[in-house]
Amino acid sequence: MSYLYAKVRERFSFLPATCDMARHGNSTEIAFKTEKEYTPYVRKFAEGHIADVICIGYKYDFFEKRLALPLLNEMQKRLLITAIVAADYQEDKAYVVRRIRGAVSYCLDGVFHFRLRELVKRWEGIADYVPVNMSEVGMDDFLSFLAEDGEGKLFLKNGKVYDEEYRPIRKSILTGVESTIGEIVLGGAERVYCFGEAEEEIRAFLQKYYKEKAVFC
């Protein structure tokens, strides 16, 4: 919820608006208030980021609980699940936005469990398809496929990832661990432009999966 709160508050800081977050036991409530003429813009932006929380955060948790992946170490398992999350991200997000569009309030757990059953059913089918004996070779093949099938560009500088409009991206935090590699995978780009010195781990990742589509400037 802190992700959603920060995104909306940052984006509309220039508006005559308030953004409050309060905790009630195990639940967290965020309230956005603004003048009527600005409401459609705030709502549309908020709905897009609510969809991010579900399509990245909830989806990551869903697969982490269902995939044992005994042949992969923890880092490899995290990378594979992040790639699974990224594979249908745009399609998942469009579906979620359609299901929540125009609501006055949004209960994320309620939306997930009761309004997105078709989406969850699709995720269950994907989980059943992932072999229990998924190996590092299988993981590598899947990540290479995603890199080949990507669209658009990402820019990397000083360990931070930016989209095509040079806006910083921090979606990987929704998986529970913020990381540059996680950001690149979730970005789903065709090409990655790396400016300045890159950490050896990140350089090795780009060279392995993006090959000539990774440009070091």
Residue 133: the pLDDT is 93
Which pLDDT does position 211 carry in this prediction?
A: 92
Long-range CB contacts (within 8 A, 24+) of 132-137: 132/68, 132/69, 132/70, 133/70, 133/71, 134/67, 134/69, 134/71, 134/72, 134/80, 135/71, 135/72, 136/71, 136/72, 136/76
Res 6: pLDDT: 73
pTM score, whole prediction: 0.90
pLDDT at 60: 98
Residue 173: the pLDDT is 94
The pLDDT assigned to 31 comes to: 75
What are the pLDDT tens digits along the chain (217 aa)?
577 767 766 766 666 767 777 777 777 777 777 777 877 887 888 889 899 999 999 999 999 999 999 999 999 999 999 999 999 999 999 999 999 887 777 888 888 988 999 999 999 999 999 999 999 999 999 999 999 988 999 999 998 999 999 989 999 999 999 999 999 999 999 999 999 888 999 999 999 999 999 999 8
**Residue 13 pLDDT:** 64
**pLDDT value of position 12:** 66
pLDDT value of residue 33: 76
